[in-house]
Amino acid sequence: MTTLRNLPSVEQILQTEAAAYLIARFGRPLTLDSIRFVLDDIRARFQSGQITALPLTDLILAQTESQLITWTRQTLLPVINASGVILHTNLGRAPLSDATIRAMDIVSRGYSTLEFDLESGKRGSRLIHAESLLQKLTGAEAALVVNNCASAVLLILSALANKKRVIISRSQLVEIGGGFRVPDVMKQSGAKLVEVGTTNKVRLSDYQSAAEEPTALIMRVHRSNFKLVGFTEEPELKDIVAAAHQAGVPVVDDLGSGALYDTEKYGIAHEPTVQESMQAGADIICFSGDKLLGGPQAGIIIGKADLIAKIKKHPLARAVRADKACLAGLSATLLHYLKDEAEREVPIVKMMSLTLKQVKGRAEAWAAELGKGSVVEGESTVGGGSLPGESMPTFLLSLQVKSAEKFLRALRKNNPPIIARTENDKVLLDPRTVLPEQEGALLVGVKNILKS
C-alpha cells in the first residue's frame, strides 16, 4: 500500500545530480524552498485523494525546476512596438537614444560624482546635475529634477502653497493616467484649492477676482489627454501671468508632456512648448522627461531662482529626488537638443520625422521578406497623454490571417513579444514605431507564426 512514507525526503532529493544542477543554477536556499513547496503540494493532493500514486524523484525534480523557473521569471521584458503608438504608456513610453543608454550604463557600473565635488574634494550636490543644461536650453534661472512630473507638482505645491490658496480653472481639474487627479494632489500637498470659471469657460476676470484675496499661486494645468471643444473660452497664459503678477502672485504652469520643439513641424497639432511658457512669463514650469522630450522618466522643474531654492529645501524634495541613472540619462538627452541633433538621435523625434516614403519603403520591404501581406495607408498616434485625437499618416503591413486575435496572442508569446493591432479582422504592423535594430527579430517572429 502506498503511503506518504514512500515519498523521498528533502535530503534524499538533494543527493541527486539533478538537484546539484538546480542548486548551481538557482542557488541552494531557493532550490530548497522549491523542493519543500513541491513536496507539500504532493502531500496535500495525496491526502485529499486527488492523486493515488506518489511521483518518482525524477518527476519531483522536474516539478521543482518548473517551480523555480516560475519564481525567477522576469516580468519586465523588452517588446517590439509595432502598434503605431509612439509614446505607448503601457510599453514604457519613450525609448532612449544610444547616448542616453551609454550615459546611464557608465554611471551605473561604478562610482560617480553624484554628490562629490572634484574641485574641493568635498561633498557636492546631486541637484546641480542637468541644471546647467536646462538653464541653457530654456533660459530659466534655475532647475530641479525629480522622479516624475506628478512628484514635481506635489513638491511645488507642498513647498510654495501649504495651507495657502492656489487658484486654478475648473476646466483644468483633470485626471490623467493611473488615477492622478489634480484636485487630490493639491489636497495632499496641503494647498487650498480655489476653483474659478466653469467647466467650459474661464475668463481673465475670474482669476483677477479670486486673486484679490491673499493667494500663494495661480496654477495652469495642461489637459494633456483630452480636448475641450465647442462653446469654450480660456485666457492665454501671458494674460494670466500679467494679471497674476499685478496681484503679486507667482504662476505655475504644469505642461505635462514637455515638448522642446514645435510638433506642427511633423504634421500634427501644436503642443505647448517649454520655451513658450518661459516667454509668457510663467514663474515655475514643470514637465515630464519621458514623454515628448524623449528621455528617461523624470519630473523637471524650471523657473525663478528664489522659488526653485525654496522647492529644493523642502523635505519632500529628498523623497522624490532623481537617482544617478536618471540624471545621467536626462543630461545626455538634453545634450541632443542643445546640439540640434534630436531628429537624428532621439528615437521618438526620429519616429515623428520619418517621411511617408520612408515608412512605406519599410512596410514594402517587410511584405517582400515575409512573402505575405499588403501595404495599406493608416495612422500612427503620439500617445502618452500627448496630443489627444491627433494622428499622423503612415503605411501599415496588413496581414490576412484565420483569427486576428489568435495571431495577436501568438505575437505576444513570441520572444521578444511583438505588440500589434487589428482592424477589420486583419493584423496591422506599423513600421513607424519599430526600432531599426528590431526589424530582424520582428520578421523572424512573424514568419515563424505564419508557418505554424
In a domain, 180, yes or no: yes
Please give the Cα distance from 35 to 63 (Å, whole number). 8
Which pLDDT score, from 0 to 100, does residue 176 have? 66
Judgement on whether residues 28 and 160 belong to the same structural domain of the protein: no
Instruction: Note whether residue 93 is domain-resident.
Output: no
Alpha-helical segments (H) within 121-218: 131-138, 149-161, 182-189, 204-210
Residue 381: strand pairing partners: 85, 391
User: What are the residues whose beta carbons fall under 8 Å from the beta carbon of 307, sequence distance 6 or more?
Assistant: 160, 250, 283, 284
Residues 307, 385 within the same domain: no
**What is the rounded distance in angstroms from the CA atom of residue 418 to the CA atom of residue 91?**
11
Residues 281 and 383 in one domain: no
177 and 293 in a single domain? The answer is yes
Q: Helices 149-161 and 305-313, interaxial angle, to 10°?
A: 100
**189 and 315 assigned to the same domain:** yes
pLDDT at 65: 97
Number of domains comprising the chain: 3
Q: Same domain for 143 and 122?
A: yes
C-alpha cell at 357: 516614403
Residue 318, pLDDT score = 94
Tell me what pLDDT residue 177 has.
Answer: 61
Same structural domain, 62 and 149: no
172 and 35 fall within a common domain: no
Are residues 79 and 417 in contact, defined by beta-carbon separation less than 8 angstroms? yes
Q: Which of 345, 370, 400 is the last residue of a domain?
A: 345
**Distance from C-alpha of 55 to C-alpha of 189, rounded to nearest angstrom:** 59
Which conformational region is residue 88 in: left (phi greater than 0), alpha (psi within -120 to 50 degrees), or beta?
beta
pLDDT at site 224: 63
What is the CATH classification number for the domain harbouring 178?
Answer: 3.40.640.10
Give the phi and the psi of residue 143 in degrees, each rounded to 5. Answer: -155, 160
Bridge partners (DSSP) of residue 398 are 374, 428
Are 289 and 412 within one domain?
Answer: no
DSSP string spanning 148-164? -HHHHHHHHHHHHHTTS
pTM of the predicted model as reported, rounded to 2 decimal places: 0.91
Per-residue pLDDT of the chain (452 residues; tens, 9 = 90+): 678 888 999 999 999 999 999 999 999 999 999 999 999 999 999 999 998 889 999 999 999 999 999 999 999 999 999 999 999 999 999 999 999 999 999 999 999 999 999 999 999 999 999 999 999 999 999 999 999 998 999 999 999 999 999 999 988 777 666 666 777 888 888 889 999 988 888 899 999 999 999 999 999 988 765 666 667 788 899 999 999 999 999 999 999 888 999 999 998 888 889 999 999 999 999 999 999 999 999 999 999 999 999 999 999 999 999 999 999 999 999 999 999 999 999 999 999 999 999 999 999 999 999 999 999 999 999 987 667 667 899 999 999 999 999 999 999 999 999 999 999 999 999 999 999 999 999 999 999 999 98
- Residue 226 shares a structural domain with residue 320: yes
Q: Show which of 345, 363, 388 is a domain's final residue.
A: 345
CA 447, CA 452: separation in Å to the nearest integer?
Answer: 9
Three-state SS at 192: strand
Domain boundaries, position 304: 98-345
Residues 256 and 388 in one domain: no
Retrieve residue 302's grid coordinates. 524650471
- Within this chain, do residues 67 and 84 fall inside the same structural domain, yes or no? no
CATH number for position 435 = 3.90.1150.110
Residue by residue, DSSP assigns 331-346 as HHHHHHHHTT-HHHH-
Looking at 325, 345, 365, which one is the last position of a domain? 345
In angstroms, rounded to a whole number, what is the distance separating the alpha carbons of residues 60 and 7?
10
Residue 377's nearest CA partner among 396, 363, 364 is 396
392 strand-pairing partners: 380
